[in-house]
Protein backbone atom coordinates (compact mmCIF):
# COMPACT_ATOMS: atom_id res chain seq x y z
CA UNK A 1 0.00 0.00 0.00
CA UNK A 2 1.32 3.41 -0.91
CA UNK A 3 0.48 7.06 -1.07
CA UNK A 4 1.56 8.32 -4.49
CA UNK A 5 1.71 11.83 -5.92
CA UNK A 6 2.80 13.25 -9.28
CA UNK A 7 2.71 16.79 -10.66
CA UNK A 8 3.36 17.52 -14.35
CA UNK A 9 3.98 21.20 -15.05
CA UNK A 10 5.84 23.60 -17.34
CA UNK A 11 9.53 23.85 -16.37
CA UNK A 12 9.15 27.21 -14.65
CA UNK A 13 6.25 26.01 -12.45
CA UNK A 14 7.04 24.13 -9.26
CA UNK A 15 4.16 22.07 -7.87
CA UNK A 16 4.40 19.63 -4.98
CA UNK A 17 2.29 18.49 -2.04
CA UNK A 18 1.48 21.01 0.63
CA UNK A 19 2.07 20.01 4.26
CA UNK A 20 -1.50 18.83 4.85
CA UNK A 21 -1.62 16.67 1.74
CA UNK A 22 1.80 15.21 2.48
CA UNK A 23 0.55 14.21 5.94
CA UNK A 24 -2.37 12.31 4.39
CA UNK A 25 -0.03 10.57 1.95
CA UNK A 26 2.46 9.60 4.68
CA UNK A 27 -0.36 8.04 6.71
CA UNK A 28 -0.87 5.62 3.84
CA UNK A 29 2.79 4.63 3.73
CA UNK A 30 4.95 5.25 6.81
CA UNK A 31 7.83 2.86 5.98
CA UNK A 32 9.57 4.87 3.26
CA UNK A 33 9.14 8.38 1.83
CA UNK A 34 11.05 9.76 -1.16
CA UNK A 35 10.73 12.50 -3.77
CA UNK A 36 12.12 12.64 -7.29
CA UNK A 37 12.05 15.36 -9.95
CA UNK A 38 12.47 14.63 -13.66
CA UNK A 39 12.95 17.55 -16.03
CA UNK A 40 12.66 17.38 -19.80
CA UNK A 41 14.36 19.79 -22.14
CA UNK A 42 13.69 20.78 -25.74
CA UNK A 43 10.74 20.79 -25.22
CA UNK A 44 10.68 21.38 -21.49
CA UNK A 45 8.52 19.98 -18.72
CA UNK A 46 8.87 19.15 -15.05
CA UNK A 47 7.60 15.96 -13.34
CA UNK A 48 7.64 15.85 -9.56
CA UNK A 49 7.12 12.39 -8.04
CA UNK A 50 6.51 11.59 -4.37
CA UNK A 51 5.80 8.18 -2.82
CA UNK A 52 5.14 6.92 0.70
CA UNK A 53 5.36 3.13 1.06
CA UNK A 54 3.65 0.68 3.41
CA UNK A 55 5.84 -2.42 3.27
CA UNK A 56 3.75 -5.58 2.90
CA UNK A 57 5.67 -8.08 0.77
CA UNK A 58 9.23 -9.02 -0.18
CA UNK A 59 12.10 -6.62 0.38
CA UNK A 60 11.23 -3.03 1.16
CA UNK A 61 11.37 -1.25 -2.20
CA UNK A 62 11.43 2.54 -1.87
CA UNK A 63 9.53 4.57 -4.41
CA UNK A 64 9.60 6.41 -6.77
CA UNK A 65 11.37 3.42 -8.38
CA UNK A 66 13.75 4.34 -11.19
CA UNK A 67 14.96 1.50 -13.42
CA UNK A 68 18.18 1.21 -15.39
CA UNK A 69 16.65 2.92 -18.42
CA UNK A 70 15.55 5.95 -16.40
CA UNK A 71 11.83 5.08 -16.33
CA UNK A 72 10.05 6.05 -13.09
CA UNK A 73 7.24 4.01 -11.49
CA UNK A 74 4.79 4.90 -8.72
CA UNK A 75 2.88 1.71 -7.89
CA UNK A 76 0.09 1.33 -5.37
CA UNK A 77 -1.05 -2.22 -5.90
CA UNK A 78 -0.68 -5.94 -5.42
CA UNK A 79 0.00 -8.77 -7.86
CA UNK A 80 -1.99 -11.83 -6.84
CA UNK A 81 -1.73 -13.66 -10.16
CA UNK A 82 -1.28 -13.15 -13.89
CA UNK A 83 2.05 -11.36 -13.94
CA UNK A 84 4.87 -13.73 -13.11
CA UNK A 85 6.21 -12.89 -9.66
CA UNK A 86 7.67 -15.03 -6.92
CA UNK A 87 5.58 -15.21 -3.72
CA UNK A 88 8.20 -13.22 -1.78
CA UNK A 89 9.07 -10.86 -4.65
CA UNK A 90 8.13 -7.22 -4.18
CA UNK A 91 5.25 -6.29 -6.47
CA UNK A 92 6.66 -2.90 -7.42
CA UNK A 93 9.96 -4.42 -8.55
CA UNK A 94 8.15 -7.13 -10.54
CA UNK A 95 5.92 -4.63 -12.37
CA UNK A 96 8.82 -2.24 -13.00
CA UNK A 97 10.90 -5.04 -14.48
CA UNK A 98 8.17 -5.97 -16.94
CA UNK A 99 7.43 -2.38 -17.94
CA UNK A 100 11.11 -1.64 -18.55
CA UNK A 101 11.09 -3.94 -21.58
CA UNK A 102 8.06 -2.20 -23.15
CA UNK A 103 8.55 0.02 -26.17
CA UNK A 104 5.05 0.36 -27.60
CA UNK A 105 1.69 1.28 -26.13
CA UNK A 106 0.39 -2.21 -26.89
CA UNK A 107 3.19 -3.73 -24.81
CA UNK A 108 2.45 -1.48 -21.82
CA UNK A 109 -1.24 -2.37 -22.02
CA UNK A 110 -0.39 -6.07 -22.22
CA UNK A 111 1.61 -5.91 -18.97
CA UNK A 112 -1.15 -4.07 -17.13
CA UNK A 113 -3.82 -6.45 -18.42
CA UNK A 114 -1.88 -9.40 -17.00
CA UNK A 115 -1.97 -8.12 -13.43
CA UNK A 116 -4.60 -9.82 -11.29
CA UNK A 117 -5.04 -7.65 -8.26
CA UNK A 118 -5.82 -4.08 -7.23
CA UNK A 119 -3.65 -1.25 -8.52
CA UNK A 120 -3.22 2.43 -9.27
CA UNK A 121 -0.04 3.66 -10.95
CA UNK A 122 1.88 6.51 -12.52
CA UNK A 123 4.69 5.64 -14.97
CA UNK A 124 7.15 7.95 -16.71
CA UNK A 125 8.37 6.20 -19.87
CA UNK A 126 11.61 8.08 -20.45
CA UNK A 127 12.68 7.08 -23.95
CA UNK A 128 9.18 7.38 -25.41
CA UNK A 129 8.52 10.60 -23.44
CA UNK A 130 5.11 9.52 -22.10
CA UNK A 131 3.45 9.78 -18.70
CA UNK A 132 1.03 6.89 -18.05
CA UNK A 133 -1.47 6.64 -15.19
CA UNK A 134 -4.66 4.81 -14.25
CA UNK A 135 -6.49 2.32 -12.03
CA UNK A 136 -7.53 -1.31 -12.30
CA UNK A 137 -10.83 -2.32 -13.89
CA UNK A 138 -12.78 -2.15 -10.61
CA UNK A 139 -11.00 0.94 -9.26
CA UNK A 140 -9.91 -0.83 -6.07
CA UNK A 141 -7.13 1.67 -5.39
CA UNK A 142 -7.68 5.40 -5.19
CA UNK A 143 -6.20 7.85 -7.68
CA UNK A 144 -7.41 11.45 -8.00
CA UNK A 145 -6.55 14.09 -10.57
CA UNK A 146 -6.93 17.77 -11.18
CA UNK A 147 -5.50 20.35 -13.56
CA UNK A 148 -4.58 23.87 -12.66
CA UNK A 149 -2.63 26.59 -14.52
CA UNK A 150 -1.73 24.20 -17.33
CA UNK A 151 -0.46 21.52 -14.93
CA UNK A 152 -1.71 18.00 -14.15
CA UNK A 153 -1.67 16.72 -10.56
CA UNK A 154 -2.28 13.08 -9.56
CA UNK A 155 -2.63 11.87 -5.96
CA UNK A 156 -3.93 8.92 -3.93
CA UNK A 157 -5.77 11.31 -1.65
CA UNK A 158 -6.57 15.02 -1.51
CA UNK A 159 -7.30 17.42 1.31
CA UNK A 160 -10.72 19.00 0.87
CA UNK A 161 -10.18 22.48 -0.59
CA UNK A 162 -11.23 25.53 1.38
CA UNK A 163 -11.43 27.95 -1.54
CA UNK A 164 -11.40 27.85 -5.32
CA UNK A 165 -8.34 25.59 -5.44
CA UNK A 166 -10.43 22.47 -5.88
CA UNK A 167 -11.57 20.46 -8.90
CA UNK A 168 -10.25 17.14 -7.63
CA UNK A 169 -11.92 14.18 -9.39
CA UNK A 170 -11.48 10.43 -9.17
CA UNK A 171 -9.53 9.12 -12.15
CA UNK A 172 -12.12 6.97 -13.97
CA UNK A 173 -11.47 3.23 -13.85
CA UNK A 174 -12.66 3.08 -17.46
CA UNK A 175 -9.10 2.56 -18.75
CA UNK A 176 -5.58 3.93 -18.46
CA UNK A 177 -4.37 7.30 -19.67
CA UNK A 178 -1.27 8.76 -21.32
CA UNK A 179 0.17 12.25 -21.74
CA UNK A 180 2.57 12.93 -24.61
CA UNK A 181 5.24 14.92 -22.78
CA UNK A 182 6.86 16.15 -25.99
CA UNK A 183 3.57 17.65 -27.15
CA UNK A 184 2.90 19.05 -23.67
CA UNK A 185 6.28 20.80 -23.62
CA UNK A 186 5.87 22.13 -27.14
CA UNK A 187 2.29 23.43 -26.94
CA UNK A 188 1.75 23.94 -23.22
CA UNK A 189 -1.73 22.39 -23.59
CA UNK A 190 -2.87 19.39 -21.58
CA UNK A 191 -4.20 16.62 -23.81
CA UNK A 192 -4.71 13.13 -22.37
CA UNK A 193 -5.11 9.96 -24.45
CA UNK A 194 -7.47 7.30 -23.10
CA UNK A 195 -6.95 3.55 -23.54
CA UNK A 196 -10.29 2.05 -22.42
CA UNK A 197 -10.89 -1.37 -20.91
CA UNK A 198 -12.66 -3.57 -23.44
CA UNK A 199 -16.32 -3.72 -22.43
CA UNK A 200 -16.05 -1.11 -19.67
CA UNK A 201 -18.70 1.54 -19.22
CA UNK A 202 -17.72 4.93 -20.57
CA UNK A 203 -16.43 7.46 -18.07
CA UNK A 204 -19.21 9.55 -16.58
CA UNK A 205 -19.54 13.13 -17.86
CA UNK A 206 -17.55 15.54 -15.73
CA UNK A 207 -15.09 12.90 -14.54
CA UNK A 208 -12.08 14.72 -16.00
CA UNK A 209 -10.69 18.08 -14.84
CA UNK A 210 -12.38 21.06 -16.45
CA UNK A 211 -9.39 22.32 -18.49
CA UNK A 212 -8.06 18.89 -19.47
CA UNK A 213 -8.91 17.45 -22.88
CA UNK A 214 -9.35 13.64 -22.87
CA UNK A 215 -9.42 11.91 -26.27
CA UNK A 216 -9.50 8.28 -27.39
CA UNK A 217 -6.04 7.06 -28.39
CA UNK A 218 -5.45 7.50 -32.11
CA UNK A 219 -4.74 3.79 -32.68
CA UNK A 220 -7.99 2.65 -31.09
CA UNK A 221 -6.17 0.31 -28.69
CA UNK A 222 -8.15 -1.37 -25.89
CA UNK A 223 -7.12 -3.05 -22.64
CA UNK A 224 -8.35 -6.67 -22.48
CA UNK A 225 -10.95 -6.84 -19.72
CA UNK A 226 -10.03 -9.01 -16.70
CA UNK A 227 -13.73 -9.57 -15.95
CA UNK A 228 -15.79 -12.15 -17.81
CA UNK A 229 -19.19 -11.06 -19.14
CA UNK A 230 -22.10 -11.51 -16.76
CA UNK A 231 -23.79 -14.90 -17.08
CA UNK A 232 -27.07 -14.06 -18.82
CA UNK A 233 -28.43 -17.61 -19.05
CA UNK A 234 -31.91 -17.84 -17.62
CA UNK A 235 -33.22 -20.86 -15.67
CA UNK A 236 -34.76 -23.68 -17.74
CA UNK A 237 -38.52 -24.19 -17.61
CA UNK A 238 -38.10 -27.47 -15.77
CA UNK A 239 -35.49 -29.44 -13.87
CA UNK A 240 -33.80 -28.95 -10.53
CA UNK A 241 -33.46 -25.21 -11.06
CA UNK A 242 -37.19 -24.80 -11.68
CA UNK A 243 -38.65 -22.27 -9.24
CA UNK A 244 -40.94 -23.61 -6.53
CA UNK A 245 -44.71 -23.19 -6.98
CA UNK A 246 -45.72 -19.60 -7.63
CA UNK A 247 -48.10 -19.63 -4.68
CA UNK A 248 -45.14 -19.85 -2.34
CA UNK A 249 -43.18 -17.12 -4.04
CA UNK A 250 -45.73 -14.50 -4.95
CA UNK A 251 -45.41 -11.07 -3.35
CA UNK A 252 -47.24 -10.58 -0.05
CA UNK A 253 -50.82 -9.28 -0.22
CA UNK A 254 -51.29 -5.55 -0.23
CA UNK A 255 -50.94 -4.07 3.23
CA UNK A 256 -48.74 -6.90 4.56
CA UNK A 257 -45.02 -6.37 5.07
CA UNK A 258 -44.18 -10.08 4.76
CA UNK A 259 -45.92 -13.41 4.10
CA UNK A 260 -47.58 -15.35 6.93
CA UNK A 261 -45.41 -17.82 8.89
CA UNK A 262 -46.67 -20.86 6.97
CA UNK A 263 -45.59 -19.27 3.66
CA UNK A 264 -42.18 -18.44 5.10
CA UNK A 265 -41.81 -22.04 6.27
CA UNK A 266 -42.71 -23.23 2.77
CA UNK A 267 -40.10 -20.89 1.35
CA UNK A 268 -37.47 -22.40 3.63
CA UNK A 269 -38.53 -25.89 2.54
CA UNK A 270 -38.07 -24.83 -1.06
CA UNK A 271 -34.61 -23.51 -0.25
CA UNK A 272 -33.65 -26.79 1.37
CA UNK A 273 -34.99 -28.74 -1.62
CA UNK A 274 -32.83 -26.68 -3.96
CA UNK A 275 -29.72 -26.86 -1.78
CA UNK A 276 -28.31 -29.97 -3.47
CA UNK A 277 -28.37 -28.32 -6.89
CA UNK A 278 -26.82 -25.19 -5.49
CA UNK A 279 -24.07 -26.97 -3.60
CA UNK A 280 -21.75 -27.36 -6.60
CA UNK A 281 -21.92 -23.66 -7.42
CA UNK A 282 -21.54 -22.76 -3.76
CA UNK A 283 -18.47 -24.96 -3.40
CA UNK A 284 -16.93 -23.37 -6.49
CA UNK A 285 -17.61 -19.94 -5.03
CA UNK A 286 -16.10 -20.98 -1.70
CA UNK A 287 -12.98 -22.20 -3.52
CA UNK A 288 -12.55 -18.83 -5.25
CA UNK A 289 -13.09 -16.91 -2.02
CA UNK A 290 -10.82 -19.26 -0.12
CA UNK A 291 -7.97 -18.66 -2.56
CA UNK A 292 -8.50 -14.89 -2.44
CA UNK A 293 -8.26 -14.90 1.36
CA UNK A 294 -5.38 -17.39 1.49
CA UNK A 295 -3.12 -15.40 -0.84
CA UNK A 296 -3.38 -12.26 1.23
CA UNK A 297 -3.52 -13.80 4.72
CA UNK A 298 -0.44 -15.96 4.21
CA UNK A 299 1.55 -12.93 3.07
CA UNK A 300 0.48 -10.73 5.99
CA UNK A 301 3.47 -9.15 7.77
CA UNK A 302 4.30 -10.96 11.03
CA UNK A 303 3.16 -9.31 14.24
CA UNK A 304 4.39 -9.71 17.85
CA UNK A 305 3.42 -12.91 19.64
CA UNK A 306 -0.19 -12.85 20.79
CA UNK A 307 -1.12 -10.07 18.35
CA UNK A 308 -3.31 -10.43 15.28
CA UNK A 309 -1.96 -9.95 11.78
CA UNK A 310 -5.43 -10.10 10.22
CA UNK A 311 -8.69 -8.34 11.10
CA UNK A 312 -12.19 -8.46 9.62
CA UNK A 313 -14.63 -5.56 9.29
CA UNK A 314 -17.29 -7.48 11.17
CA UNK A 315 -21.04 -6.93 11.38
CA UNK A 316 -22.05 -10.55 11.84
CA UNK A 317 -23.68 -10.45 8.40
CA UNK A 318 -23.22 -12.92 5.57
CA UNK A 319 -20.10 -11.45 4.00
CA UNK A 320 -18.13 -10.80 7.19
CA UNK A 321 -19.02 -14.21 8.68
CA UNK A 322 -17.75 -16.05 5.62
CA UNK A 323 -14.55 -14.00 5.46
CA UNK A 324 -13.85 -14.68 9.15
CA UNK A 325 -14.44 -18.41 8.66
CA UNK A 326 -12.10 -18.45 5.65
CA UNK A 327 -9.41 -16.50 7.50
CA UNK A 328 -9.65 -19.12 10.25
CA UNK A 329 -8.56 -21.73 7.70
CA UNK A 330 -5.28 -19.98 6.93
CA UNK A 331 -4.20 -17.96 9.96
CA UNK A 332 -2.09 -20.18 12.28
CA UNK A 333 -4.31 -21.46 15.07
CA UNK A 334 -2.20 -19.89 17.83
CA UNK A 335 -2.73 -16.39 16.40
CA UNK A 336 -5.84 -14.34 17.23
CA UNK A 337 -8.13 -12.83 14.61
CA UNK A 338 -9.59 -9.40 15.34
CA UNK A 339 -13.28 -8.80 14.58
CA UNK A 340 -13.81 -5.04 14.25
CA UNK A 341 -17.36 -3.99 15.11
CA UNK A 342 -18.30 -0.31 15.19
CA UNK A 343 -21.34 1.36 16.77
CA UNK A 344 -22.20 5.03 17.06
CA UNK A 345 -23.77 6.53 20.16
CA UNK A 346 -27.51 7.05 19.88
CA UNK A 347 -28.88 10.37 20.99
CA UNK A 348 -30.52 10.44 24.41
CA UNK A 349 -34.33 10.73 24.24
CA UNK A 350 -35.80 14.05 25.27
CA UNK A 351 -36.35 14.33 29.05
CA UNK A 352 -40.15 14.14 28.82
CA UNK A 353 -40.04 11.06 26.59
CA UNK A 354 -37.41 9.46 28.82
CA UNK A 355 -39.62 9.93 31.91
CA UNK A 356 -42.56 8.33 30.13
CA UNK A 357 -40.40 5.36 29.15
CA UNK A 358 -39.15 4.95 32.71
CA UNK A 359 -42.70 5.24 34.09
CA UNK A 360 -43.78 2.51 31.70
CA UNK A 361 -40.96 0.30 32.97
CA UNK A 362 -38.93 0.42 29.76
CA UNK A 363 -35.35 -0.72 30.18
CA UNK A 364 -32.70 1.91 29.44
CA UNK A 365 -30.64 0.27 26.70
CA UNK A 366 -26.94 0.62 26.00
CA UNK A 367 -26.55 3.63 23.65
CA UNK A 368 -24.15 1.55 21.54
CA UNK A 369 -26.40 -1.50 21.09
CA UNK A 370 -26.91 -0.88 17.38
CA UNK A 371 -28.23 -3.68 15.12
CA UNK A 372 -24.73 -4.52 13.84
CA UNK A 373 -23.49 -4.81 17.43
CA UNK A 374 -26.18 -7.39 18.24
CA UNK A 375 -25.67 -9.43 15.07
CA UNK A 376 -21.91 -9.15 15.60
CA UNK A 377 -22.14 -10.73 19.04
CA UNK A 378 -24.31 -13.52 17.65
CA UNK A 379 -21.78 -14.05 14.86
CA UNK A 380 -18.96 -14.21 17.40
CA UNK A 381 -20.66 -17.09 19.22
CA UNK A 382 -21.11 -18.94 15.96
CA UNK A 383 -17.42 -18.52 15.08
CA UNK A 384 -16.44 -19.73 18.54
CA UNK A 385 -18.47 -22.87 18.01
CA UNK A 386 -16.91 -23.34 14.59
CA UNK A 387 -13.33 -22.82 15.83
CA UNK A 388 -13.22 -23.04 19.63
CA UNK A 389 -9.41 -23.12 19.82
CA UNK A 390 -9.05 -19.80 18.04
CA UNK A 391 -8.84 -16.58 20.03
CA UNK A 392 -11.41 -14.26 18.50
CA UNK A 393 -10.98 -10.64 19.59
CA UNK A 394 -14.41 -9.06 19.22
CA UNK A 395 -13.49 -5.37 19.32
CA UNK A 396 -16.42 -3.18 20.33
CA UNK A 397 -15.61 0.20 18.82
CA UNK A 398 -17.91 2.71 20.50
CA UNK A 399 -17.93 6.17 18.93
CA UNK A 400 -19.38 9.10 20.86
CA UNK A 401 -21.09 11.99 19.12
CA UNK A 402 -18.25 14.34 20.07
CA UNK A 403 -15.58 11.97 18.75
CA UNK A 404 -17.49 11.50 15.51
CA UNK A 405 -17.80 15.24 14.91
CA UNK A 406 -14.12 15.86 15.63
CA UNK A 407 -12.83 13.05 13.40
CA UNK A 408 -15.17 14.05 10.62
CA UNK A 409 -13.95 17.66 10.72
CA UNK A 410 -10.26 16.90 11.15
CA UNK A 411 -9.78 13.84 8.96
CA UNK A 412 -12.66 11.96 7.41
CA UNK A 413 -14.14 14.70 5.22
CA UNK A 414 -10.75 15.13 3.53
CA UNK A 415 -10.39 11.41 2.88
CA UNK A 416 -13.86 11.21 1.34
CA UNK A 417 -13.21 14.13 -1.01
CA UNK A 418 -14.19 14.49 -3.82
CA UNK A 419 -17.20 12.33 -2.84
CA UNK A 420 -19.52 14.27 -0.56
CA UNK A 421 -22.97 12.65 -0.37
CA UNK A 422 -24.68 11.82 2.91
CA UNK A 423 -24.17 8.12 2.16
CA UNK A 424 -20.44 8.63 1.52
CA UNK A 425 -20.12 10.44 4.84
CA UNK A 426 -22.13 7.81 6.70
CA UNK A 427 -20.24 4.79 5.37
CA UNK A 428 -16.89 6.59 5.40
CA UNK A 429 -17.20 7.44 9.10
CA UNK A 430 -18.15 3.88 10.01
CA UNK A 431 -15.29 2.36 8.01
CA UNK A 432 -12.69 4.86 9.30
CA UNK A 433 -13.45 4.14 12.97
CA UNK A 434 -13.70 0.40 12.36
CA UNK A 435 -10.32 0.29 10.61
CA UNK A 436 -8.69 2.31 13.40
CA UNK A 437 -9.45 -0.71 15.58
CA UNK A 438 -9.50 1.11 18.94
CA UNK A 439 -12.19 -0.15 21.30
CA UNK A 440 -12.98 -2.63 24.04
CA UNK A 441 -12.69 -6.41 24.31
CA UNK A 442 -14.22 -8.54 27.03
CA UNK A 443 -11.81 -10.62 29.09
CA UNK A 444 -13.22 -12.70 31.94
CA UNK A 445 -16.40 -10.68 31.67
CA UNK A 446 -14.66 -7.32 32.13
CA UNK A 447 -14.03 -4.83 29.31
CA UNK A 448 -10.49 -3.63 28.66
CA UNK A 449 -9.09 -1.10 26.22
CA UNK A 450 -7.76 -2.70 23.05
CA UNK A 451 -6.28 -1.56 19.74
CA UNK A 452 -5.92 -3.99 16.85
CA UNK A 453 -2.39 -4.56 15.58
CA UNK A 454 -3.54 -6.10 12.28
CA UNK A 455 -2.08 -4.69 9.08
CA UNK A 456 -4.39 -6.67 6.77
CA UNK A 457 -8.11 -5.89 6.96
CA UNK A 458 -10.58 -8.17 5.20
CA UNK A 459 -13.75 -6.52 3.93
CA UNK A 460 -16.83 -7.90 2.21
CA UNK A 461 -17.24 -4.77 0.12
CA UNK A 462 -18.51 -5.72 -3.33
CA UNK A 463 -20.58 -8.71 -2.20
CA UNK A 464 -23.93 -6.96 -2.47
CA UNK A 465 -23.18 -5.55 -5.93
CA UNK A 466 -22.07 -8.90 -7.34
CA UNK A 467 -24.41 -11.29 -5.50
CA UNK A 468 -27.63 -9.26 -5.54
CA UNK A 469 -27.59 -8.28 -1.89
CA UNK A 470 -29.52 -5.00 -1.91
CA UNK A 471 -33.25 -4.58 -1.40
CA UNK A 472 -33.45 -2.78 -4.75
CA UNK A 473 -32.43 -6.07 -6.40
CA UNK A 474 -35.42 -7.78 -4.82
CA UNK A 475 -37.69 -4.99 -6.06
CA UNK A 476 -36.23 -5.18 -9.58
CA UNK A 477 -36.77 -8.94 -9.64
CA UNK A 478 -40.37 -8.52 -8.50
CA UNK A 479 -41.11 -5.93 -11.19
CA UNK A 480 -38.93 -7.12 -14.10
CA UNK A 481 -38.01 -10.76 -13.47
CA UNK A 482 -34.65 -12.36 -14.21
CA UNK A 483 -33.91 -10.15 -17.21
CA UNK A 484 -34.44 -6.97 -15.22
CA UNK A 485 -32.32 -8.28 -12.37
CA UNK A 486 -29.46 -9.11 -14.73
CA UNK A 487 -29.60 -5.61 -16.19
CA UNK A 488 -29.47 -4.18 -12.68
CA UNK A 489 -26.44 -6.31 -11.76
CA UNK A 490 -24.64 -5.33 -14.97
CA UNK A 491 -25.16 -1.70 -14.05
CA UNK A 492 -23.92 -2.35 -10.48
CA UNK A 493 -20.67 -3.85 -11.72
CA UNK A 494 -20.15 -1.07 -14.26
CA UNK A 495 -20.39 1.69 -11.66
CA UNK A 496 -18.85 0.01 -8.60
CA UNK A 497 -15.50 1.74 -9.14
CA UNK A 498 -17.05 5.20 -8.91
CA UNK A 499 -19.35 4.38 -5.98
CA UNK A 500 -17.37 2.49 -3.35
CA UNK A 501 -13.88 1.20 -3.77
CA UNK A 502 -11.68 4.26 -4.20
CA UNK A 503 -13.45 5.94 -1.29
CA UNK A 504 -12.96 2.97 1.02
CA UNK A 505 -9.32 2.66 0.00
CA UNK A 506 -8.70 6.28 1.00
CA UNK A 507 -10.51 5.89 4.32
CA UNK A 508 -9.07 2.56 5.53
CA UNK A 509 -5.47 3.12 4.49
CA UNK A 510 -5.37 6.35 6.49
CA UNK A 511 -4.44 4.01 9.36
CA UNK A 512 -1.51 2.57 7.31
CA UNK A 513 -3.34 -0.71 6.80
CA UNK A 514 -3.94 -2.89 3.78
CA UNK A 515 -7.55 -3.23 2.62
CA UNK A 516 -8.20 -6.63 1.08
CA UNK A 517 -11.43 -6.93 -0.88
CA UNK A 518 -11.62 -10.71 -1.12
CA UNK A 519 -14.91 -10.57 -3.01
CA UNK A 520 -13.32 -8.36 -5.69
CA UNK A 521 -10.16 -10.40 -6.32
CA UNK A 522 -11.75 -12.59 -9.01
CA UNK A 523 -14.91 -10.85 -10.25
CA UNK A 524 -15.14 -13.20 -13.23
CA UNK A 525 -16.02 -16.02 -10.83
CA UNK A 526 -19.08 -14.12 -9.62
CA UNK A 527 -20.02 -12.90 -13.09
CA UNK A 528 -20.29 -16.53 -14.21
CA UNK A 529 -22.69 -17.55 -11.42
CA UNK A 530 -25.98 -18.63 -13.04
CA UNK A 531 -28.95 -16.42 -12.22
CA UNK A 532 -30.78 -19.11 -10.19
CA UNK A 533 -27.99 -18.84 -7.63
CA UNK A 534 -28.99 -15.20 -7.13
CA UNK A 535 -32.64 -16.13 -6.94
CA UNK A 536 -33.31 -15.77 -3.25
CA UNK A 537 -34.84 -12.42 -4.16
CA UNK A 538 -37.88 -14.20 -5.55
CA UNK A 539 -38.88 -15.24 -2.04
CA UNK A 540 -40.10 -11.70 -1.38
CA UNK A 541 -39.72 -12.30 2.33
CA UNK A 542 -37.66 -10.51 4.93
CA UNK A 543 -34.60 -12.72 4.42
CA UNK A 544 -31.08 -11.74 3.47
CA UNK A 545 -31.08 -11.16 -0.26
CA UNK A 546 -28.18 -13.59 -0.42
CA UNK A 547 -29.86 -16.20 1.79
CA UNK A 548 -30.12 -18.98 -0.76
CA UNK A 549 -26.45 -18.62 -1.57
CA UNK A 550 -25.59 -18.35 2.11
CA UNK A 551 -27.43 -21.58 2.92
CA UNK A 552 -25.06 -23.94 1.06
CA UNK A 553 -22.10 -21.74 2.01
CA UNK A 554 -22.92 -22.25 5.68
CA UNK A 555 -23.30 -25.97 5.01
CA UNK A 556 -19.80 -25.92 3.53
CA UNK A 557 -18.57 -24.71 6.91
CA UNK A 558 -20.76 -27.25 8.76
CA UNK A 559 -22.71 -24.47 10.44
CA UNK A 560 -26.22 -24.94 11.81
CA UNK A 561 -29.15 -23.16 10.27
CA UNK A 562 -32.09 -21.99 12.28
CA UNK A 563 -34.73 -20.36 10.06
CA UNK A 564 -36.32 -18.67 13.04
CA UNK A 565 -33.16 -16.66 13.70
CA UNK A 566 -31.97 -16.11 10.12
CA UNK A 567 -34.29 -13.40 8.92
CA UNK A 568 -32.37 -10.32 10.04
CA UNK A 569 -32.12 -7.48 7.61
CA UNK A 570 -28.70 -7.85 5.92
CA UNK A 571 -26.01 -5.83 7.66
CA UNK A 572 -25.08 -4.27 4.34
CA UNK A 573 -28.57 -2.75 4.13
CA UNK A 574 -28.24 -0.92 7.43
CA UNK A 575 -24.53 -0.17 7.58
CA UNK A 576 -25.12 3.43 8.42
CA UNK A 577 -28.46 3.11 10.15
CA UNK A 578 -27.21 4.15 13.56
CA UNK A 579 -24.87 6.92 12.43
CA UNK A 580 -25.93 10.29 13.76
CA UNK A 581 -25.38 13.12 11.27
Which residues are designated catalytic?
2
Distance CA(300)–CA(81), nearest Å, equals 17
As a whole number of angstroms, the distance between CA 122 and CA 75 comes to 7
Nearest alpha carbon to residue 122 among 22, 11, 10, 2: 2
The residue among 385, 371, 369 whose CA lies nearest residue 315 is 371
d(CA 286, CA 292) in angstroms, rounded, equals 10
d(CA 316, CA 573): 13
CA dihedral 121, 125, 131, 135 (to 10 degrees): -20
> Could you tell me which of 329, 340, 337, 339 has the C-alpha nearest to residue 289?
329
Peptide bond into 418 cis (omega under 30): yes
Q: Are 534 and 490 in contact (CB under 8 A)?
A: no
Q: Which residues pair with 9 in a beta bridge?
A: 46
Question: Which DSSP state fits 197?
Answer: B
CA 457 to mean position of chain CA atoms: 11
Q: State how far the Cα of 290 lies from the Cα of 300, in Å rounded to an integer.
A: 15
Rg (CA), the chain: 25
Q: Give the C-alpha separation, 32 to 427, whole Å.
A: 30
The three-class DSSP label of residue 380 is helix
| Cβ partners under 8 Å of residue 483, min gap 6 | 234
Query: 121 φ, ψ to 5°?
Result: -150, 160
Amino acid sequence: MCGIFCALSPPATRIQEDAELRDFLRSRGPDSSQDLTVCGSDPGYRCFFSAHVLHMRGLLTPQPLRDGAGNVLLWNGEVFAGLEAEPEENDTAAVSGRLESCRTAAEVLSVLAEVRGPWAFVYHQREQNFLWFGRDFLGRRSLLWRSTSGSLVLSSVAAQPTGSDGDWREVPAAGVFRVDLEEFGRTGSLSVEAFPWDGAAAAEPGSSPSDCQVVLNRDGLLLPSPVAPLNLSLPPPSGRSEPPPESRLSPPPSGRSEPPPESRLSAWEDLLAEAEWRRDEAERLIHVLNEAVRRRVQLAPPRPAGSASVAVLFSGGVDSMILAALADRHVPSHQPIDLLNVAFQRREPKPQKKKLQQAAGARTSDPFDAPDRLTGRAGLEELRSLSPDRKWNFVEINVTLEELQEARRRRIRHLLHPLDTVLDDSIGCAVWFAARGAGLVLEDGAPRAFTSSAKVILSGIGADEQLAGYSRHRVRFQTSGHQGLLQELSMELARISSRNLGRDDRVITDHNQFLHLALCVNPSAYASIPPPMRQSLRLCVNLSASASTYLPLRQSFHLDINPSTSHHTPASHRRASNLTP
